[in-house]
Structure 1
Amino acid sequence: MMKILKYSLLICLVVMFTKCSPDHNGSFGGTVDRTIQLIGTWKIESVFQIDLDAEKKSFPEFATKVDITNTVTNMPFSDFEMTLHNNTISTTLGMSPMAYVIEEGQGTWNWISNDELSLVNQELGINASSGITTSINGKEVQLFISTFSGITAPTPTLSLNYKRIDEVGNDVMRYEYILVKQ
């Protein structure tokens, strides 16, 4: 009886491995045009402040990352609205404290990096080197896209990062803005 079980298991494993084959020939397709996915109106859902020195020292997340979405009384981050068209951007600050990051008004935007990433990496949301440069009222701001993982969700979300630097040019603080497409 034990021999029959042993051989049955061996036959099942052989059949299973010989019947498995890749869905394609190793090609994961082309790159995804993120511009199309970014076009639309976005509102801030939440904001996190990350202490880069504490993060560098491997402090636990509760000591490095703080939710500051509703910390400023009568100044909700959710008032901020950003609308992206093909190459133009318009922003409305409302009562949000976003004036320290970006101007209110209209301007242009484009990719900071035109590195092409494989579809697999983009599906996984790996894109830490890309983002957008905005120019509104003559002031440029770079916002890095930390992940594209939520951009194809039923309610698309986008994670943008903005770094604050000290007077000698060192990164001190990072702000992560989670935006929801309207």
Structure 2
Amino acid sequence: MKKLIIYIPILLFILSCADDIPEIGERVNRKEQIVGTWQLEKFIQTDLKAKANAYPDFATQKDLTYIFENSPYTDFSITFNADGTFSTDTGNSFVDMIEDGNWSFNSEEAPSEILLSNGSENQIIVIGSFANIIYDKIEFKVVKADAISQKEKINYTYYLSKI
């Protein structure tokens, strides 16, 4: 009987203290987050063949942000509008991107790419990370392939900040 008197309150205590699982909340609207003007801060080129062969970082990656004295890549900016249009301002940089047109995500719920288009010209920008978008920072990647073999050769990573 003593055991029963001890075990019943313990059992009641354990069963009555079930934690409520909090709601996660609304899904973040990535389109709203990306709308605005983004200024390039850093531009990194990665040699994918060297990286695949496990070369050290100094042989695989190159910071090209200020490689040309009078043509810094920080001159580049891109503006994404809520109506699905975009425009770029290359300034004196040599960024190879469609000048203006329409943009969309490859997926509304979990975007991993931005699709840029202007008539028959199309470009895919891989979203490197949305993790820092709450700090007005984003990372884009553009992969260039060999024209003949279609093997990926070079990866360009753009680090941008919202202005």
Assess if the C-alpha contact under 8 Å between 2:79 and 2:87 holds in 1: yes
> 2: CA distance between counterparts of 1:51 and 1:90?
28
2:61 aligned to which of 61, 65, 85? 65
> 2: CA distance between counterparts of 1:133 and 1:24?
41
Where does the alignment leave 5 or more consecutive residues of structure 2 unmatched?
Answer: 1-13
Secondary structure (helix, strand or coil) at the match of 1:169 reads: coil
Q: Give the match for residue 142 of structure 1.
A: 124
The offset of 1:176, in angstroms, is: 0.2
The reply on whether 1:102 has 2:82 as its aligned counterpart is no
Assess if the C-alpha contact under 8 Å between 2:98 and 2:116 holds in 1: no
List structure 1 runs of 4+ shifted beyond 4 angstroms: 21-24
> Percent same amino acid among aligned pairs?
31
- 1:132 aligned partner, one-letter code: I
The offset of 1:23, in angstroms, is: 7.8
> 2: CA distance between counterparts of 1:26 and 1:58?
45
Assess if the C-alpha contact under 8 Å between 2:42 and 2:160 holds in 1: yes
TM-score (norm 2): 0.79
Q: Give the match for residue 158 of structure 1.
A: 138
Where does the alignment leave 5 or more consecutive residues of structure 1 unmatched?
Answer: 1-17, 118-128
Secondary structure (helix, strand or coil) at the match of 2:134 reads: coil
State how 1:1-182 maps to structure 2 within 5 Å. Answer: 25=21, 28-86=24-82, 87-98=84-95, 101-104=96-99, 106-114=100-108, 116-117=109-110, 130-136=112-118, 138-153=120-135, 156-167=136-147, 168-182=149-163
TM-score (norm 1): 0.72
Assess if the C-alpha contact under 8 Å between 2:103 and 2:117 holds in 1: yes
**Number of residue pairs aligned between Structure 1 and Structure 2:** 146
The offset of 1:131, in angstroms, is: 1.5
CA RMSD of aligned residues (A): 2.3
In terms of Rg, which structure is larger?
A: 2
